[in-house]
Amino acid sequence: MTDLKGRVALVTGGSRGIGRAIAISLAEAGAAVAVNYRSREHDARHVVEAIHATGGRAMPVCADVSQSVQVHEMLAAVQRALGPVDVLVNNAGIGLVRTVDELTEEDFDRTIAVNLKSVFLCTQAVVPGMQTRQWGRIVNISSGAARGAGGVGPHYNASKAGLEGMTRGYAARLVKDGITVNAVAPSLIETDMVGAVASSAARIPLGRFGTPEECAQVVMMLVGNAYMTGQTVALSGGLSFL
């Protein structure tokens, strides 16, 4: 198992689903974990309580990560309580299901802000400290929709494709600073979003949906691997291959 004792991790959108599983896995590896949420305080506190119950360190931290002021306030709060962030998992995202006819400019702007701009804001905020310490791990949660049709809409496709481009761009520029930047692209995981698009497990070659814990396993592999950077790891049960 990856040893993260003495490290501090921040998981955006960490109150439920994939984010929750990642936060708990990071804590099991020894990291102190900041569990970010925007509106689900009860869920975030439940994740923190689960970590505390096993002897780990964690804190809930409220912020809309698409807003720069809130991102900086969040990072300051985490540093005061836990220390500077060594591991950033950009998991926060929204999936507004829209047909082409329904899609509005407001839908598009909000999706890009939450799914893509937030990654930029959080990454820019933690990188200087990682550069100073010459160590850092950044993992971005993408989607199979970055390269496939998906069931949410073209706005969602664009946000996740941009995220993967940003992953490669940061990876290339931070590789000499001891910082790796990678992405995980899940498809059809047992989350609220899968329910919203009414997907069926019958179309998955493996015959079932993936689990949040399986996503967390891939994230932990990327956090623990110092040689892998600039990569996107597909997690689709054989539905697609990157």
Active centre residues (catalytic): 156
Q: Do 119 and 169 contact (CB within 8 A), yes or no? A: no
Q: Do 80 and 70 contact (CB within 8 A), yes or no? A: no
Query: Which class for 6: exposed (0-12), middle (13-18), buried (19 or more C-beta within 10 A)?
Result: exposed
DSSP string, 179-225: EEEEEEEE-SBSSHHHHHTT--GGGSTTSS-B-HHHHHHHHHHHHH-
User: Would you state the structure tokens that stand for residue 132, as one six-digit string?
Assistant: 């100073």
SS3 101: coil
Quick one: CA dihedral 47, 50, 56, 60, positive or negative?
positive
User: Would you state the structure tokens that stand for residue 50, as one six-digit string?
Assistant: 């689960």
Q: Do 131 and 74 contact (CB within 8 A), yes or no? A: no
One-letter amino acid at 83 equals G
